[in-house]
Amino acid sequence: MHSFYPFWFNIFLYIWIGLAAVIFIVLVVLKIEVPYGRYTRTGWGAFISNRAGWVLMEIPSLLIFAGFFLGGNKVHDPVTWFFFAVWVFHYTNRSLIYPFRTRTISKKMPLSVMFMAIFFNLINASANGYYLGYIHPVYPGYWWKDIRFIFGVLAYLVGMTMNWWADGKLIRLRQNNVNEYAVPYGGVFRYVSCPNYLGEIMEWGGFALMAWNLAALAFFMWTLANLIPRALNHHAWYHRTFPSYPKERKAIIPFIL
């Protein structure tokens, strides 16, 4: 397979980032609650079990990225292998481990939501896998010591730890009352309603910083576009549902938003 001209690849990514901005504005202005999890509702077509939906919508990210990366015509240097490991590590959890940790017995999600997520993952994983497999310039040997790499890895590690911790905490809230919701307390929940989303944003912000390319930046932009509106929705939902919800807690950015 020949790499098509990087110029067009970049043009595509600028349009793709523009689309993320449009989606962000639409979700925030119209206060759209994407109908999965607590917002699952009828009117979005047929349903699939929550667990199967998560596996099917996330696994393309793992397989497609790996396919482009491993099948690419570039010789991989240790730095790109590191990016590969970071991606595979995250998506192995998200597609094959996380769905089996959740306590969503008998819960369903609309197939339409699953297909929207698959569409996003197809483009996102292809763009990132294609860049690293076919286009990327070889990262210089000093990249390990570059400030972008060091801060990127730090942000990724802190974000991943926060994301896993917060997901685990939310899942454990359901120890006894299956499918019920409760107010999470402690740790970063003292400051924000959605530390799992804050962690995810830090992860992909860190990835964009350490990999320093347009495809990774686009992924970061889409993560912001998806998760900030959903965090605002969750925050408003907590206040509606629990009258004693802590007033000082923000939605996603401590002390700010």
The binding site for ligand NDP (CB under 6 A) comprises 37-38, 102, 104, 107, 163, 167, 170-171, 173-174, 181-182, 184, 196-197, 200, 223, 226-227, 230
CA distances from 108 to 45, 56, 98, 175 (A): 12, 13, 16, 19
Measured distance CA(160)–CA(81) in Å, rounded: 19
Contact by Cβ (8 Å): 193, 238: yes
Q: Which is nearer to ligand NDP, 184 or 205 (CB)?
A: 184
Query: Within 10 Å of residue 5's Cβ, how many Cβ atoms?
Result: 10
Q: Is 209 exposed, middle or buried (0-12, 13-18, 19+ CB in 10 A)?
A: buried
Q: Which is nearer to ligand NDP, 76 or 217 (CB)?
A: 217
Over the Cα atoms of the chain, what is R_g?
Answer: 19
Q: Which is nearer to ligand NDP, 150 or 236 (CB)?
A: 236
Q: Which is nearer to ligand NDP, 73 or 179 (CB)?
A: 179
- CB 108, min distance to ligand NDP, A: 10
- CB 8, min distance to ligand NDP, A: 25
- CB 37, min distance to ligand NDP, A: 3
- CB 7, min distance to ligand NDP, A: 27
Q: Which is nearer to ligand NDP, 12 or 237 (CB)?
A: 237
H-assigned helices in 72-192? 78-92, 98-101, 111-130, 147-172
- CB 50, min distance to ligand NDP, A: 6
